[in-house]
Amino acid sequence: MGLKKVFEPIKIGTLTLPNRIMMGSMHVGFEKLEDGVNRLATFYAERARGEAGLIVTGGAAVLPEGGMGEPYCNVFRDEDIEPLRLITTQVHEAKGRIALQLFHAGRYAHKEQTGYDPVAPSPLQAPINRTKPRELSADEIEQTIQAFAEGAVRAKKAGFDAVEIMGSEGYLINQFLSPVTNIRQDEWGGDFSRRARFGVEVARRVRHAVGPDYPIIFRMSGIDLIPDSTTMGETLIFAGMLEQAGMDALNIGIGWHESKVPTIAMMVPRGAYVWVAQQVKEAVSIPVIASNRINDLRQAEGILLDGRSDLVSMARPFLADPQIVRKSRETRYDEVNTCIACNQACLDHIFDNKVASCLVNPLVGREQEWALVPATSRKKVAVVGAGPAGLEAARVLAERGHQVVVIEKSQQIGGQLNYARQVPGKEEFNETLRYYKTQLSRLGVEIRLGCMATADALEAEGFAEVVVATGVIPRRPEIPGVDLAHVVSYDQVFEGQVKVGRTVAIVGAGGIACDLSHLLLQDEVISPKVADYLLEYQILSETGIQQLKPRKRKIYMLRRGKHVGTGLGKTTRWAVLASLGRHGVEMITQMTYKKITPDGVLISQQDEERLISAETVIVAAGATSNDALFHALQDRLSVHVIGGAREAGELDAKRAILDGSTVGRII
């Protein structure tokens, strides 16, 4: 079915957009690399060719103390104009439209990057920054407002089609608005109207500086998700004040970086925060933009048709697939490489001071070096193993023109993606599997399931090259009693080969153990829908329903070391562990295994022995590379080893797909 509302043009001020999908702002860090701004321009131009209605850049600092350091985009000097023009020129050549985001981090700015002490409305330290900010004086506040205005003028001179004022996510403007971060008692703080003054003055000054016809978007916080912060009533009044100040559209941000509520991780349901944008839309008459966990244009179509927002902002989905809009316009939905909201290569990289990429699309950040070129000679290539590494290798090899045969010993493709997609909150991995199935079918890749590859058979069939992507073998630690009948391996649980009891001890506490715990906590005999039906027609009472439900599992995660959840991403680990804690999972660290008994696991902790009672003991203590085929082929054929078969360790789809993409380009 074709999309209608998504592709209905809309105006932001004087700027007409051909569709209602905006590529939201992201810091990607390409500026730090050699020829960085040109890399950034190439990145944005590719999204423009993919038909993004409007692109918003990552934040460009309006003052040095509010930015991310010299290598990043800045807009506080006249000499910043020409480098920025590289971006607008390439985007316009690609027939796109782009807005520059005017940015000041306030107390979130890091002195290690900027060389300056961070500044804020009040000298209150952010929990995510080791440096306490100093309080802005009244004169400095005036200078900062003027800096936003002058930055907007420079953006206009550099050829940007619009600007977006960053007033969300806990950055400086948001810090002035919130009573949590603004405890001043002068004209810039105190009651709501004085706390709102800074943001409104920035909006007015920018409008005056660029004139009445230049489009301005204000990214405002729709909900801070910080205790005792701005109320929804105040937020809606603030939205009206921004409209009066001359803003052309409001982009609704969700949450602060220090918030203890996940807002964009995979565990967040799709479209979970559209209701916030809807409330703002009902309070103003200018266009309102919804965002957060919207990764499918069909989903966006429903939001727009229901009148819940006027535009939809997608950020990370444009990392996963720069052609998402074009493919959706052509109703090629199954060909979209959908963002799975894992954060592992985008936000995790940025918060680690690395360049952003994408787990499902490692081409991000490598656009110039990795342009796909046809193979000089067409070869018959075997890819052994259909996990993420093998699937990506097969896709890239076939795109380049090779004849590719995928050989997989099991009856389905996906490898350990099939484990991940079972875990509650990780259903998005189904999208990655759907993408590969579609692409390999489109490219004519032969897939042989239930087939065990051998060196003799591969050589006999005449393959010119073999890619070994056979993954890992679960490691069996040397603990007395590990061979008892109630001791099973994590792969047996995921594959449904064993029955798991009501008390469980997991040997290991890494990412795979966390996934197992989430899976085992979801053990419904009847679905909520069935329970509602039984209650509505009085077939069973609430008590009867509860009696049908199994008693909650008691799960222990055991680790010799100090840290639980190693291997999980930096920006999601805290939320995963907090969720497990709320569900009663007990995490026991800094202990030693004495032995496994029929009743559980005997451990020693601080020189005291303790029996962890468990009906089932699950071993999730890492893995070893399944590389026997690689070694068997080394002296017989041209062979490459990738993914877990090359390097074991924590299950890592990011590294696996990167490996597959790399090998696909060198054969």
Q: What are the helix (H) ranges across 266-416?
A: 274-281, 297-305, 317-320, 324-329, 347-351, 388-399
Tell me the pLDDT tens digit for each residue of 431-465: 999 999 999 999 999 999 999 999 999 999 999 99
Mean of pLDDT values over 285-293? 97
Mean of pLDDT values over 378-400? 98
Confidence band for 652, pLDDT divided at 50, 70 and 90: confident
Distance from C-alpha of 602 to C-alpha of 609, rounded to nearest angstrom: 7
Q: Are 40 and 52 in contact (CB under 8 A)?
A: no
Confidence at residue 524, expressed as pLDDT on a 0 to 100 scale: 60
Confidence at residue 556, expressed as pLDDT on a 0 to 100 scale: 97
Q: What are the helix (H) ranges across 188-256?
A: 192-210, 232-244
Mean of pLDDT values over 13-30? 96
Q: Which of 87-91, 103-107, 129-133, 267-271 has the lowest mean pLDDT?
A: 267-271
Number of C-beta neighbours around residue 48 at 10 A: 22
Q: Look at residue 437 and give its three-state secondary structure.
A: helix
Dihedral (C-alpha) 56, 57, 62, 63: value to the nearest 10 degrees?
Answer: 150
Phi, psi of 451 (to 5 degrees): -125, 125
Percent of the chain exceeding pLDDT 90 equals 84
Confidence band for 572, pLDDT divided at 50, 70 and 90: confident
Distance from C-alpha of 597 to C-alpha of 499, rounded to nearest angstrom: 18
Tell me the pLDDT tens digit for each residue of 47-76: 999 999 999 999 999 999 999 988 889 999
Confidence at residue 183, expressed as pLDDT on a 0 to 100 scale: 98
- Contact partners, residue 260, CB within 8 Å, separation at least 6: 225, 574, 578
Mean of pLDDT values over 238-243? 98
Whether residue 323 has pLDDT greater than 90: yes
**Cβ-count burial 210-246 (b if 16+ within 10 Å, e if not):** beeebbbbbbbbbbbbbeebbeeebbbbbbebbbebb
Q: Are 220 and 165 in contact (CB under 8 A)?
A: no
Whether residue 395 has pLDDT greater than 80: yes
Distance from C-alpha of 490 to C-alpha of 625, rounded to nearest angstrom: 16
Distance from C-alpha of 661 to C-alpha of 655, rounded to nearest angstrom: 10
Average pLDDT, the chain: 94
Of the residues 44, 72, 108, 171, only one is catalytic, namely 171
Distance from C-alpha of 496 to C-alpha of 479, rounded to nearest angstrom: 24
Alpha carbon 613 to chain centroid, angstroms: 37
Confidence at residue 233, expressed as pLDDT on a 0 to 100 scale: 98
Mean of pLDDT values over 472-491? 95
Residue 360 or 568, more confident: 360
Confidence at residue 651, expressed as pLDDT on a 0 to 100 scale: 66
Confidence at residue 531, expressed as pLDDT on a 0 to 100 scale: 81
Confidence band for 2, pLDDT divided at 50, 70 and 90: confident
Phi, psi of 186 (to 5 degrees): -105, -155
Distance from C-alpha of 577 to C-alpha of 423, rounded to nearest angstrom: 14
> Does 419 qualify as catalytic in the annotation?
no
Whether residue 391 has pLDDT greater than 80: yes
Whether residue 624 has pLDDT greater than 90: yes
Distance from C-alpha of 444 to C-alpha of 584, rounded to nearest angstrom: 48
Q: What are the helix (H) ranges across 490-646?
A: 490-494, 511-521, 528-536, 542-548, 573-582, 628-633
Residue 664 or 533, more confident: 664
DSSP 65-117: GGSS-TTS-B-SSGGGHHHHHHHHHHHHHTT--EEEEEE--GGG--HHHHSS-
Confidence at residue 525, expressed as pLDDT on a 0 to 100 scale: 60
Strands 10-12 and 15-17, by their bridges, are antiparallel
Alpha carbon 121 to chain centroid, angstroms: 31
Distance from C-alpha of 32 to C-alpha of 28, rounded to nearest angstrom: 10
Whether residue 353 has pLDDT greater than 80: yes
Q: What angle do CA 210, 216, 218 make, to 5 degrees?
A: 135
Whether residue 549 has pLDDT greater than 80: no
Write down all domains in the chain, each with its CATH number in brackets.
10-341 (3.20.20.70), 380-474+624-666 (3.40.50.720), 487-621 (3.50.50.60)
Mean of pLDDT values over 594-601? 96
Number of C-beta neighbours around residue 452 at 10 A: 11
Residue 449 or 607, more confident: 449
Mean of pLDDT values over 24-46? 93
Confidence at residue 650, expressed as pLDDT on a 0 to 100 scale: 67
Quote the tokens at residue 608: 């005291």
Burial of 257 (0-12, 13-18, 19+ CB in 10 A): middle
Whether residue 361 has pLDDT greater than 80: yes
Q: Which range is most confident: 287-301, 368-382, 573-587?
A: 287-301
Confidence at residue 545, expressed as pLDDT on a 0 to 100 scale: 80
Distance from C-alpha of 207 to C-alpha of 188, rounded to nearest angstrom: 20
Quote the tokens at residue 502: 């009501």
Whether residue 649 has pLDDT greater than 80: no
Quote the tokens at residue 646: 């090359």
